[in-house]
Amino acid sequence: MIREDPLVDGEERVLMGFLRIRSWRLVALALVTFTTLVGTPGVGSAHQGSSQGTTLPGFASVAQVLTSVRAATRETHFPPSITPSFSVLESGAAFGDQSLVHSACRQPIAPRWSSIAHCTFGDTSARTTVALVGDSRARMYLDAMNTLGKLEHFRVVYLALSACPTALGDFATNLGVPVATPWALCNTFHTFTLHAVNRLRPTLTLVMSDNEIWLTKPFHQAAPAEVVTDMEKYYNGFSDKQRTLVFVNYPQPGEVHTPDLCLSKLPSNIQQCSFVPSAKVTANDTAQRTAAQRARVGIVDERAWYCASTCPAIVHGTVVYTPDSYHTTYAYTMYLLGALWARIAPYLR
């Protein structure tokens, strides 16, 4: 368990190794920079947002999202127009990370305090802080969280490394295609994020991550039992589990289907582009949920935001998945903004 006590002995050496700073004078300078740009760690205040309760004016409610998803599983005709368009999907601009692309937050985030200071979004002057932790699943929600933070007056501290799921294990390098070489950055990154979150003490921590883990010693894809073990170890590292929410049950189509490719063929019945998650995806989703339950952190089940009897490719005129079939489009994360707010608002009141 990572502690919040003043750093002593081994803990001091670990943090110093992450920071790569050789004197306490430079540590102080780094923390001053972090405090100036991100705010004082551990300082919170009553959330002052624009919404009433858990309803976000101008955005679909949870009930409306669920109704739209159910309706989408019965729709057969292509809608008159879709968002994003095929041209936007093809250009790669449908991913919800433009606030990151146009920021000073360097990618990948180096495991040191000074790098975190530049990775702050939403209402950066707010005293309420939400830590967004994970891999590219966190990145795909960043623009939506940036918008939500500005609307509801909380800042978002972004701590994510693409292709590096939130687990503690001996990760294999995965920069699109996993290889047997140990991935040093991934192996240290999430340990650092635990230190960072526990020092920052945010009002709420959101963990959004894939559960497909590639390990070395030997090189292999983790079985569900290993997913449980390694993810549980990570979740147990958070000092405030009551204010940690893990997002689970994302219906990744990539194992069995490519919805956007199907849509591009303009099928006469768009239900041909719907899918049901594979047995492998379901097994890993169950493992991730089990890990969260064992660690006694909060859980947000995403499945109903995407699927009913099947998982449609278009909901409410919005294309749900990016062309890689592993992520959600920015447009659909924005459609989910009200549902997302309904889940996190109680923790920010």
Residue 217's pLDDT band, with cuts at 50, 70 and 90, is confident
Q: How far is CA 315 from CA 68, 141, 220, in A?
A: 6, 17, 36
Which has more pLDDT, 299 or 109?
A: 299
Strands 204-208 and 244-248: parallel
Q: How many CA atoms lie within 13 A of 216 on its CB side?
A: 14
Model confidence at 12: pLDDT above 70: no
Residues in CB range of 97: below 8 A, 6 or more apart: 139, 140, 142, 143
Residues in CB range of 294: below 8 A, 6 or more apart: 228, 232
> Helix or strand or coil: residue 134?
strand
- Please name every residue paired with 275 in a beta bridge, in sequence order, or none if there are none: 311
Question: Domain-by-domain residue ranges, the chain?
Answer: 9-44+56-348
Burial of 331 (0-12, 13-18, 19+ CB in 10 A): buried
55-59, 102-106, 271-275, range with greatest mean pLDDT: 271-275
Q: Write down the CATH number for the domain with range 9-44+56-348.
A: 3.40.50.1110
Q: Omega before 57 cis (within 30°)?
A: no
| CB of 119 closer than 8 Å to CB of 159 | yes
pLDDT, tens only, 153-190: 999 999 999 999 999 999 999 988 899 999 999 989 98
pLDDT, tens only, 73-89: 999 999 999 999 999 99
Residue 112's pLDDT band, with cuts at 50, 70 and 90, is confident
Predicted local distance difference test score (pLDDT) of residue 85: 95
In whole numbers, what is the pLDDT of the chain averaged over residues?
A: 86
pLDDT, tens only, 18-63: 333 323 333 333 333 334 344 444 433 445 555 557 889 999 999 9
Predicted local distance difference test score (pLDDT) of residue 38: 42
